[in-house]
Structure 1
Amino acid sequence: MVTLVNLRAYWRFVRVLYQFFPLIIAYWRDRRKYFLFGGRRSVDPETQRERADRLLDSLLTLGPTFIKLGQLLSTRPDVLPPAYIDVLTSLQDDVPPAPWAETRPVLEADVGEVDEVFDDFEREAISGASLGQVYRATYEGERVAIKVRRPGVEDLVEADLRAIAWLLPILLRFTDEARSFSVSNLADEFSDTIREEMDYSRERRMLGEIRENFEGNDRIRIPGAVDELSGERVLVMEYISGTKINDVDRLDEMGLDRSDLAESLQRIYLQMIIEDGVFHADPHPGNLSVAEDGSIIFYDFGMSGTVDAFFQDKIVDFYIAVANQDIDGILDSMVEMGTLSPTADREVMGQVMELAIADVRGEDLEQYRVQQVIQQVEDTIYEFPLRLPRNFALIMRVATVVEGVCVTLDPDFDFISVATDYLSEQGYREEGVRQAVESAGDQLEETARSLVTVPPKLDDVLDRVKRDDLTVQIQIDDEHDVLDQLAKRIAYSILAAVGVLSTAILYSFNQAPEAAIVAGVITLPVGLLLYRSLRRKRGVRARPQFTRQEMRRRRDE
């Protein structure tokens, strides 16, 4: 089996290289602006979009693994330019289902004979995707949906992952140094992500946890899993039918308030991310429906993520800063989350954020959409390369897709207003105000103390300057004798050079051979001392000052 996978991987590698190599060269030219020789190269957005379309075609040609890769790339503005992100965002995982004759052995190997286990089973799949497909059946009198892993997809994915691993060093040679770290981590992240999505037992756990978090909430419906029939390759769950959330005409016929639906969807995701720390990460209209009573139905939890407490706090800070149009607060939260380099020019970044907010204000200064703000942030992230934390990339994608769905439901939907109301109801904004007041109080106390202590000290310094009696003492801490070693080597080098030159001059003129011999004898020990100094240390080495071990040692001392 391993040999077959390797052989398949070799073949896939050739195919992948054939598809991607022209794109790698083009992408390299887009980034470097030069190609072998010539002047500065300017790549217009239209050219980038054409290449992005070619990338999309290549991903679709290469099949399931690369469709998933394209979906992941669409969440990574730190890896691809905005034109590529725009094109890949349209990539839908909609693949014709495998024939029933091929799927049946997979299903029956896990749950048993279909006609014996189920009261009724529809052989025609109701949906198909790159990794699995969904069937409808009746189990113990209840309608159920059966998600089955696509036959043979495990071997294909493993072969493709090996091919990607072999392709990675080639790709890195054409990638600038700042972005190569992100690309390497993206490859590792993708292998973990696609394996998780193929594991339906993990999806069942995530589905169950999110369902439990919303227990008693009548605004959301999540199908329950049939545990006794579910495993790694098969997931059986309650079948809930509804109207697609973007079918606005049908929703109007049902008499539902679309503005209320948009607000409900936004609040559900705010709770998932800010409160619960586990969220459904694929909210496109195909995975969202609306029931007759107006509740929102969620499908397909294969793509899901978690948020730790630290990121939850920082996301809250970000939302509050955007709501308050606090540019410094936005930048601070982005730096703390790791989405913005601390070395980035804050003045330039502040101008970008101000323009982003100004662009989306419109006539009403309170009306602006977070999707456009995030788009500006993504553009800036590409210009200032850094690695996005995996789940934060998912959160950014969720925010933009959810906002798009909400605007489809209600063109006047105000994301910030809903988020602000939610944060206020949960007490986050009051907490932020309290912390700001405490911080201002601390600063006021320090200022008052400075007003008392600084003037006398400043007066003393000015008196010293007036008397020309001001001295500045500088002390260099050289506990590793670095300067001493450098001084010795410089001295040995000068003496050795003078000795060699003197010996050469005396010998060349042949007037005092004895003097040349004496000069050579005197120079030899100096040369040995210089050689010994260089050989023993192999360059000046100082102990790292900021390693964890060194800092711990200093703290203990």
Structure 2
Amino acid sequence: MVFRSYARFLRVVRQFLPLAIAYARDRRRWVLVGGSRRVDADTQRRRAERLLDSMLTLGPTFIKLGQLLSTRPDVLPPAYIEEFTRLQDDVPPADWPEAKAILEADLGPIEEVFTEFDTAPISGASLGQVYAAEIDGEPVAVKVRRPGVEELVAADLRVIKWLLPILLYFVDDTRSFSLETMAEEFERTITEEMDYEREARMCAAIGANFADDPGVAIPDVYDDYSTDRVLVMEYVDGTKVTDLDDLDARGIDRTDLAERLERTYFQMIVDDGVYQADPHPGNLAVQDDGTLVFYDFGMSGQVDSRVRDQIVEFYVAVAEQDIDGILDALIQMGTLSPEADRQIMADVLELAIADARGEEIDQYRVQEIVQRIEDTIYEFPFRLPPNLALVLRVATVVEGVCVTLDPGFDFIAVATEYLADEGHLQRGVERAARDAGRDLRAAGEALVSVPPKLDRTLDRIDRDALTLTATIDDENGHIERLGARITLGMVAAAGVLSTAILQAFGTQITTLFAALGTLVVGIALYRSFRKQRGIRAKPQFTRQNLGAGDGIGGDRTHDGTRADDEPIAGDTNGDESFRGS
């Protein structure tokens, strides 16, 4: 496994090295030193195309990574996001004998389990492929994990861990956090994608929420025939949602269909908190009576009640074109830094809303705003929490499908109508009133309690009875970083010495590995000197002199918080995002 990881490492480096050097020169003209250089839109688009080709060449893990990156505008420029959204998880199927071996290892001889089985897959993806079959005369879809994909993914994840420290060196500090959290998220989610037992749980949960809705069809899972590598589900036929000629021939009202599709997803996300997160046309179908059919629940997500409320507040603010409300909602969701320039962000949002509503936009003003964004976007970037990144992707794809069905479709209008029909708008007003009342009560209590505390404190100062102490606070990790630098320096020195010895007496391959390892350690050492944060001294009033419970500015807790929703049984990640093949 380790040798395979080294081989993959070399192949990945060979694929990405030209692009990495080009990007590094954009940030620092001479890679390690020098100023930055501006890259035009055409160059960015060409690089995005080359990066996409490299990911397709490297196979399943990097295809999934590209799909994840398409949901992260806080990590990649718009040209890359646009290119990656076209990334299709469609690869040639594995040979039947290999898939058959997995099926029979998990379920037993095929002829004893299935009355009919078509060995030609009806669909194939990077992590699995689907076959049509029958059990006791009932049509089923059989999803089988792609043979050998576990070992390949494990090797690729190890390579990504090796490359991450190098990548972090070439990005600014404001993007480092997003990249590190995205790497952790990707490792977790791609591992979960290959667990079909988890997909079965998500499918069952969503199906239960729509059990009484005749307009939505969710396939039933055959639990007795499903394992972590094989998933057997009810086969539900239908017309592809974007096959417009066929829909028209069947008399399907496409405008009504688009509205029902959006309302269904709003129910999943806002009301139920669990949703199918891969709504591309291949996973959506329509039956003759207009029933919506959903396929493939490997890519799915959960959202807790707190985030659902924030999503509602965001859409309400968008519907009312309340710029300040939109900014407040983005800050509460953790998407926008509280330190962001609100005026610039307000200009951007005003422009976006006008564009969405089809209003005329002054071209000069657009150029002025874009220039201001380019000057400040890296200082105050958007950051997308994993669960919101997936919700954003779902909303974008669903809107695209709806506009395909009805070119005049108004996504925001339908969203507003749904929120009003379900009472979310009224509840939002009531919640705002409660919050305002609680804040007012807290302010009143503070107004009453502060004067006597201030009087006692000033009296003690007047009597020279106040002691001021200073405690050393290494919350920025200065001492820890100092130790890490010493360790990295020793390792780098040993690496240089080892490389020199191997160059003289060892083989070429061992020398290469030693040199690469030393390079990684050297870059990590260099990067550790980029931030210079000192140890701070925090003045503190002692409790003995101020009196127990009489501290200034003591925290006051208020009732009204609520616990996060319970995750689906067997799913340990609560409101985190999940993906599947």
Offset, 1:407: 0.2
SS in 1 for 2:132: strand
Label 1:290 to 1:442 Cα distance change in 2 as closer, same or farther (>3 A): same
Q: Name the residue aligned to 1:433.
A: 429
Moved more, 39-48 or 174-183: 39-48
AA of the residue aligned to 2:218? I
Correspondence 1:273 to 2:262: no
> Which whole-Å CA distance do the structure 2 matches of 1:393 and 1:110 have between them?
35
Structure 2 matches for 1:477-492, cutoff 5 A? 479-480=468-469
Q: Name the residue aligned to 1:64.
A: 60
AA of the residue aligned to 1:89? T
Q: Name the residue aligned to 2:219.
A: 223
Label 1:438 to 1:101 Cα distance change in 2 as closer, same or farther (>3 A): closer
Label 1:412 to 1:259 Cα distance change in 2 as closer, same or farther (>3 A): same
Label 1:14 to 1:439 Cα distance change in 2 as closer, same or farther (>3 A): closer
SS in 2 for 1:542: strand
AA of the residue aligned to 2:222? V
Offset, 1:40: 5.5
Structure 2 matches for 1:343-362, cutoff 5 A? 343-362=339-358
Q: Name the residue aligned to 1:373.
A: none
> Which whole-Å CA distance do the structure 2 matches of 1:545 and 1:126 have between them?
69
Label 1:152 to 1:381 Cα distance change in 2 as closer, same or farther (>3 A): farther
Paired residues, what number? 459
SS in 1 for 2:469: coil
Q: Name the residue aligned to 2:207.
A: 211
Q: Name the residue aligned to 1:486.
A: none
AA of the residue aligned to 2:308? Q
Offset, 1:116: 1.3
> Which whole-Å CA distance do the structure 1 matches of 2:18 and 2:422 have between them?
52
SS in 2 for 1:166: helix
> Which whole-Å CA distance do the structure 2 matches of 1:193 and 1:540 have between them?
38
SS in 1 for 2:140: strand
CA contact 1:258–1:409 (8 Å) conserved in 2: yes
Offset, 1:382: 6.5
Please list the CA deviations of residues 33-57 of structure 1 after superposition, one character each: whole Å capped at 9, or x if unmatched.
7756777522111100100001000
AA of the residue aligned to 1:165? K
> Which whole-Å CA distance do the structure 1 matches of 2:407 and 2:168 have between them?
43
Structure 2 matches for 1:311-326, cutoff 5 A? 311-326=307-322
> Which whole-Å CA distance do the structure 2 matches of 1:38 and 1:31 have between them?
8
Q: Name the residue aligned to 2:292.
A: 296
Q: Name the residue aligned to 2:129.
A: 133
Match of 2:231 among 235, 256, 261: 235
Correspondence 1:341 to 2:330: no
Q: Name the residue aligned to 1:200.
A: 196
Gaps of 5+ in 2: 362-372, 444-461, 472-533, 542-548, 557-581
Correspondence 1:391 to 2:380: no
> Which whole-Å CA distance do the structure 2 matches of 1:96 and 1:119 have between them?
26
> Which whole-Å CA distance do the structure 2 matches of 1:157 and 1:166 have between them?
14
Please list the CA deviations of residues 442-466 of structure 1 after superposition, one character each: whole Å capped at 9, or x if unmatched.
999999xxxxxxxxxxxxxxxxxxx
AA of the residue aligned to 1:480? T
Please list the CA deviations of residues 305-356 of structure 1 after superposition, one character each: whole Å capped at 9, or x if unmatched.
1101110000000000000001111000100000000000111111111111
Label 1:143 to 1:323 Cα distance change in 2 as closer, same or farther (>3 A): same
Offset, 1:438: 6.4
Q: Name the residue aligned to 1:148.
A: 144
Offset, 1:553: 11
> Which whole-Å CA distance do the structure 2 matches of 1:427 and 1:132 have between them?
41
SS in 2 for 1:480: strand
SS in 1 for 2:93: coil
Greater share of helix residues, 1 or 2? 1
Offset, 1:394: 0.2
Q: Name the residue aligned to 1:422.
A: 418
Structure 2 matches for 1:6-155, cutoff 5 A? 6-31=2-27, 41-155=37-151
Match of 1:169 among 140, 162, 165: 165
Match of 2:247 among 246, 251, 254: 251
CA contact 2:174–2:379 (8 Å) conserved in 1: no
Label 1:38 to 1:478 Cα distance change in 2 as closer, same or farther (>3 A): same
CA contact 2:72–2:389 (8 Å) conserved in 1: yes
Label 1:439 to 1:167 Cα distance change in 2 as closer, same or farther (>3 A): closer
Structure of higher RCO (CA pairs closer than 8 Å, 6+ residues apart): 2
Gaps of 5+ in 1: 366-376, 448-472, 483-538, 547-551
> Which whole-Å CA distance do the structure 1 matches of 2:110 and 2:381 have between them?
52
Label 1:177 to 1:115 Cα distance change in 2 as closer, same or farther (>3 A): same
AA of the residue aligned to 1:95? V
Identity %: 62
Label 1:381 to 1:67 Cα distance change in 2 as closer, same or farther (>3 A): farther
CA contact 1:78–1:381 (8 Å) conserved in 2: no
CA contact 2:140–2:232 (8 Å) conserved in 1: yes
AA of the residue aligned to 1:305? G
Question: TM-score, normalised to structure 1's length?
Answer: 0.76
> Which whole-Å CA distance do the structure 2 matches of 1:421 and 1:545 have between them?
53
CA contact 1:103–1:151 (8 Å) conserved in 2: yes
SS in 2 for 1:215: coil
CA contact 1:93–1:129 (8 Å) conserved in 2: yes
> Which whole-Å CA distance do the structure 1 matches of 2:388 and 2:15 have between them?
30
Question: TM-score, normalised to structure 2's length?
Answer: 0.73
CA contact 2:25–2:36 (8 Å) conserved in 1: no
Offset, 1:378: 13
AA of the residue aligned to 2:298? G
Label 1:83 to 1:255 Cα distance change in 2 as closer, same or farther (>3 A): same
Offset, 1:478: 7.2
Please list the CA deviations of residues 258-278 of structure 1 after superposition, one character each: whole Å capped at 9, or x if unmatched.
001101110010011101111
CA contact 1:344–1:384 (8 Å) conserved in 2: yes
Moved more, 352-361 or 322-331: 352-361
> Which whole-Å CA distance do the structure 1 matches of 2:335 and 2:157 have between them?
27
Label 1:383 to 1:76 Cα distance change in 2 as closer, same or farther (>3 A): farther
SS in 1 for 2:144: strand
> Which whole-Å CA distance do the structure 2 matches of 1:410 and 1:78 have between them?
30
CA contact 2:194–2:229 (8 Å) conserved in 1: yes
Please list the CA deviations of residues 465-485 of structure 1 after superposition, one character each: whole Å capped at 9, or x if unmatched.
xxxxxxxx9x9x972259xxx
> Which whole-Å CA distance do the structure 1 matches of 2:184 and 2:107 have between them?
33
SS in 1 for 2:537: coil
AA of the residue aligned to 2:15? Q
CA contact 1:480–1:542 (8 Å) conserved in 2: no
> Which whole-Å CA distance do the structure 2 matches of 1:437 and 1:364 have between them?
36
SS in 1 for 2:279: coil
CA contact 1:262–1:406 (8 Å) conserved in 2: yes
Label 1:545 to 1:242 Cα distance change in 2 as closer, same or farther (>3 A): farther
> Which whole-Å CA distance do the structure 2 matches of 1:203 and 1:107 have between them?
17
> Which whole-Å CA distance do the structure 2 matches of 1:223 and 1:12 have between them?
38
Offset, 1:145: 0.3
Q: Name the residue aligned to 2:396.
A: 400
Label 1:59 to 1:325 Cα distance change in 2 as closer, same or farther (>3 A): same
AA of the residue aligned to 1:335? I
CA contact 2:130–2:142 (8 Å) conserved in 1: yes
Q: Name the residue aligned to 1:528.
A: none
> Which whole-Å CA distance do the structure 1 matches of 2:374 and 2:213 have between them?
34
